[in-house]
Amino acid sequence: MIIPNTENSNTEKIADFSAHINKPFRRGSWKIAKDLPSSFKYASQGLGYAFLSQRNFRIHVFIGFSISALGVWLNLPFTDLAILVLTICAVLVLELLNTSIEAVVDLAIGRRFHPLARIAKDCAAASVLVCSISAFVIALLLLLPSILLKLGL
Ligand SMILES: Nc1ncnc2c1ncn2[C@@H]1O[C@H](COP(=O)(O)OP(=O)(O)OP(=O)(O)O)[C@@H](O)[C@H]1O
């Protein structure tokens, strides 16, 4: 674990920053979404980036659509379909956060090795894995009875 450096200059910087975050001003990033349509535009850019650059994201989108279509075809009750959609979205949201964490880690450390970078990336990837396993189990519990019924078993 790295202990933060609390030398005088850093303490001043932190105090300066703390004074700012309590004010009702927007934070100072390179560009700020000026209105709601711009916010949607940037969010869809993020979606597009994740879809084009992350193979796992594309796989999860494909599986999500297939499972949803199967649920509709099997005439699942609306509550079951809602649970399926929520579960699929949870996996996709974690994939997006995983991609975001990877980008931030790469931004901070670049191509150098750091054990904390490894922990950040591994744990972000593990969160997707845990959610995917639970989504698989939920899909199985909701779909299997209807599939067996359809097959006359
Ligand atoms: N800077 C780093 N320092 C230490 N280990 C790293 C670093 N960058 C990547 N790794 C290790 O390599 C693994 C793969 O990193 P990478 O950035 O390629 O993620 P990824 O394979 O794209 O992940 P995902 O499959 O979830 O999209 C990480 O999980 C981590 O264990």
Can you say which residues are annotated as belonging to the binding site?
Answer: 27, 42, 95, 102, 121-122
Q: Which fold has domain 47-151?
A: Helix Hairpins (1.10.287)
Chain center to CA of 63: 16
Phi, psi of 8, deg, nearest 5: -55, -50
Give the C-alpha distances (Å, rounded to integers) separating 23 from 12, 16, 44, 98: 18, 12, 30, 30
Domain residue ranges in the chain: 47-151
Please list the pLDDT of the chain residue by residue as tens digits (153 residues).
444 554 555 666 665 655 555 555 666 787 888 888 899 999 999 999 999 999 999 999 999 999 999 999 999 999 999 999 999 999 999 999 999 999 999 999 999 999 999 999 999 999 999 999 999 999 999 999 999 998 887
Ligand 1 centroid, distance to 118 Cα (angstroms): 6
Q: What is the ipTM of this complex?
A: 0.93
Cβ 89 vs Cβ 63: under 8 Å: no
Quickly list H helices, the chain.
Answer: 8-21, 36-53, 55-73, 78-109, 115-150
Query: pTM for the full model?
Result: 0.82
95 a catalytic residue: yes
pLDDT at 22: 58
